[in-house]
Amino acid sequence: MVDLGMTPVLPAFTGFVPEAITRVAPNATVVRGSEWNGFGTTYSNDTFLEPDDVLFTTLQERLVSIQKEVYGNVSSVYTLDQYNENTPFSGDTDYLRNISRDTMASLRAADPNAVWLMQVPSRLPFTWDRICGV
């Protein structure tokens, strides 16, 4: 890609973790996600590590570090979609603002030049005017 003049977009840590993470990290701040497409909690309702938890940044740094080891320093553009096809734990604008702030802080801790490339689904479970005031 780089040889062709393209900038790769690398995946970043979204916060989705196995429910059992609390066995190895008992103090982890986790919340349950929403049911996905009516499948019920057995097949959906992911566990989400809150971005203000220090473990979130640790996992973000580890993922970015591994990618740099494998691919080299090919990009500082990362994608992560925390709320694609699911609903945030809270619709409170302060909560959503803090999720974004802390997620970006974790990316910058892993890569000071990080750019967060966001995908916006065509069907939003919440409205951007509530989040951004637009």
- Under DSSP, is residue 47 helix (H, G, I), strand (E, B) or coil? strand
Judge whether 124 lies within some domain.
yes
Structure confidence by residue, pLDDT tens digits, 55-113: 999 999 999 999 999 999 999 999 988 877 677 888 888 988 999 999 999 999 999 99
Judge whether 95 lies within some domain.
yes
Judge whether 134 lies within some domain.
no
CATH classification of the domain holding 124: 3.20.20.80
Residue 83 token pair: 């709320």
Domain boundaries, position 117 = 2-129
Judge whether 48 lies within some domain.
yes
- pTM of the full structure: 0.82
**Cα 28 from Cα 16, distance rounded (Å):** 12
Judge whether 26 lies within some domain.
yes
Band of residue 134 on the pLDDT scale cut at 50, 70, 90: very low
Judge whether 106 lies within some domain.
yes
| Percent of the chain with pLDDT strictly greater than 70 | 87
Number of compact structural domains in the chain: 1
Band of residue 49 on the pLDDT scale cut at 50, 70, 90: very high
The predicted pLDDT at position 133 comes to 54
Band of residue 39 on the pLDDT scale cut at 50, 70, 90: confident
Cα dist from 64 to 60, 72, 113, 126, whole Å: 6, 11, 12, 29
